[in-house]
Amino acid sequence: MTGSVFRGEGLPARERFDCWRELIGRTRASEMTSEHADDFRAEMRRLELGPVTLLRSSFPPTRFRRSAAMVRRTDPGVYHLTMPLAGGLSLTRGTRERTRTFGRGDLYLVDSSHPYEVRALGACGGGRREQRTEAVGIDFPVSLLPLPPHRLRDLLGRGFSVREGTCALLSDFLVGLDRQAAVLGPAGAARLGRIAVDLVAAWVAGELEAEAAVPEETRQRALAEAVRAFVRRNLADPDLSPAVIAAAHHVSVSHLHRVFTRQSGESGDGRTLAAWIRGQRLERARCDLADPALRTLPVQAVAARWGFPRADDFSRAFRAAYGLSPREHRHRALAGREQDGDGAAGGTGDA
What is the pLDDT at residue 2? 65
Q: Where are the domains of the chain?
A: 3-166, 279-339
CA dist 13 and 9 (Å) reads 8
pLDDT beneath 70, residues of the chain? 1-3, 95, 123-130, 268, 338-351
Q: Which CATH homologous superfamily contains domain 3-166?
A: Jelly Rolls (2.60.120.10)
pLDDT number for residue 243: 93
Would you state the pLDDT for residue 338? Answer: 67
pLDDT of residue 266: 73
Q: pLDDT at position 344, please? A: 44
d(C-alpha 158, C-alpha 108), whole Å? 6
The identity of residue 147, as a single letter, is L
Question: DSSP for 292-312?
Answer: GGGTTS-HHHHHHHTT---HH
Q: How many whole angstroms separate alpha carbon 298 and alpha carbon 284?
A: 15
User: What integer pLDDT is reported at residue 256 of this predicted model?
Assistant: 94
Q: Going along 94-151, which residue ranges are E strands? A: 100-103, 106-111, 116-125, 128-130, 133-141
- Residue 263's pLDDT is 87
Residue 181 pLDDT = 76
Give per-residue burial for 331-349: e unless 16+ CB within 10 Å, then b. eebbeebeeeeebeeeebb
CA distance 310 to 285: 14
**Predicted local distance difference test score (pLDDT) of residue 339:** 66
